[in-house]
Amino acid sequence: MKKLLVLILCILLPVLAGCASDKKEQPVPKPPKTDTTHLTAEQRGITIKVSREIRNLSRMIKSSKEGHQVVSLQVAVENDSKDNVSISPDFVTLKTVDGTEYKYSPDLTETVTSKASFKKVTLPPDYRGGGLLIFEIKQGAKIESLQYKDGAGRDIPIKFSSEEKTNI
């Protein structure tokens, strides 16, 4: 009887061990990758990406306007359409909570970024353009949104959350 029991265990043990190893562990699904450094908006074949963090450059660069501070923002435009798309830093406007609108400062932008600043160009399909833009805004102003409005009728708002990190 003992021999029979040992024989059955010897036969069943590898079978049970084989069944246990046949189970494939399902990999834990990875959460979708989110861009934590940019705010993004799309409209009619273009995607606008704006840095979440607005940097205060007033310690490095003095504003030419009394009572203003100098801030920078990275703006990228991707042409996802099948047509050529004109882009320009003139299409970008910063809006503050009090409703004031600011255009970028071409002189400060070129001074800081040299020749690598956001330039007015025509982007072919599947290309990206843009760059760093420098603004002079009122001291203590809270930025609410960025508006990208081009000559082709696109009007793309990107709202900064009140929780967004601003280095102002």
For residue range 51-98, what is the model confidence (pLDDT) as tens digits?
999 999 988 888 788 999 999 999 999 999 999 999 999 999 999 999
The whole-number pLDDT of residue 12 equals: 61
Beta strand pairing status for 166-167 and 54-56? parallel
Q: What pLDDT is stored for residue 8 in this prediction?
A: 65
Would you say the pTM of this structure is higher than 0.75?
A: no
Assigned CATH topology for domain 38-160:
Immunoglobulin-like (2.60.40)
Cβ atoms of residues 77 and 87 within 8 Å: yes
Is 132 within 8 Å of 117 (Cβ atoms)?
yes
| Three-class DSSP category at 131 | strand
Give per-residue pLDDT as tens, 22-64.
455 666 555 555 556 789 999 999 999 999 999 999 888 887 8
CA distance 65 to 47: 33
